[in-house]
Amino acid sequence: MDVTSRTVFLNIIRFFFLILLQVLILNHINLGGYINPYFYIFFILLLPFNTPRWLLLISAFFLGMGIDLFTNTPGLNAAASVLTAFARPFIISIISSGPESLIGDTPSLKNQGLKWFLNYSISLVLVHHFTLFYLEIFRFDEFFQTLLRVILSSIFTMLLILISEYLMYPKTK
């Protein structure tokens, strides 16, 4: 199996695994009504740098729709996922000093380092969570309550992403 075929295969497996993990386990975590992890966006974060934009947007749409089908939230997760995928190339260009600074094929803690990966993932998680929670509430009378929900859920989601990164790429001596 060549590198491209292996990458496509791993991303397909990751796509379905993250949808199942989200709908079967993580959607049932609701701590105090403020903390809801949305770990499925890890799929968008880990797509290779050279993923064409059209494929990035379509993948994000189907990822979000997969979550929406199981959670009875028609289009909310799809909209948040597509906006996150749309923002991804811009975030990468803002936090990277140039194409030569992008080490490896995919964004990861191991390839780019902690500072770069935190800037990248926190930015995209916040884009996703702001979009999802404010579309869900769709009014501004609970602005600060929703903002607190965005921040707490983003922190919890980031913890899951960092734990996953450390499990996928343990430090070697």
pLDDT in tens, 68-91: 999 999 999 999 999 999 999 999
Average pLDDT, rounded, for the chain: 92
Poorest-pLDDT segment among 17-26, 137-146, 156-165: 137-146
The pLDDT score that the predictor gives to residue 173 is 46
- How many structural domains does the chain have? 1
Which backbone phi and psi does 30 adopt, to 5 degrees? -145, 90
The CA-atom distances, in angstroms, between 137 and each of 76, 81, 134, 150 are 11, 17, 5, 12
Specify the higher pLDDT residue, 170 or 126: 126
Mean pLDDT, residues 156-162: 97
The pLDDT score that the predictor gives to residue 121 is 98
Distance CA 116, CA 21 (A): 26
**Residue 30 falls within a domain, yes or no?**
yes
**Residue 173 falls within a domain, yes or no?**
no
**Residue 129 falls within a domain, yes or no?**
yes
The size of the chain, in residues, is 173
The CATH number covering residue 136 comes to 1.10.1760
Domain that holds residue 82: 3-168
The pLDDT score that the predictor gives to residue 96 is 85
**Residue 105 falls within a domain, yes or no?**
yes
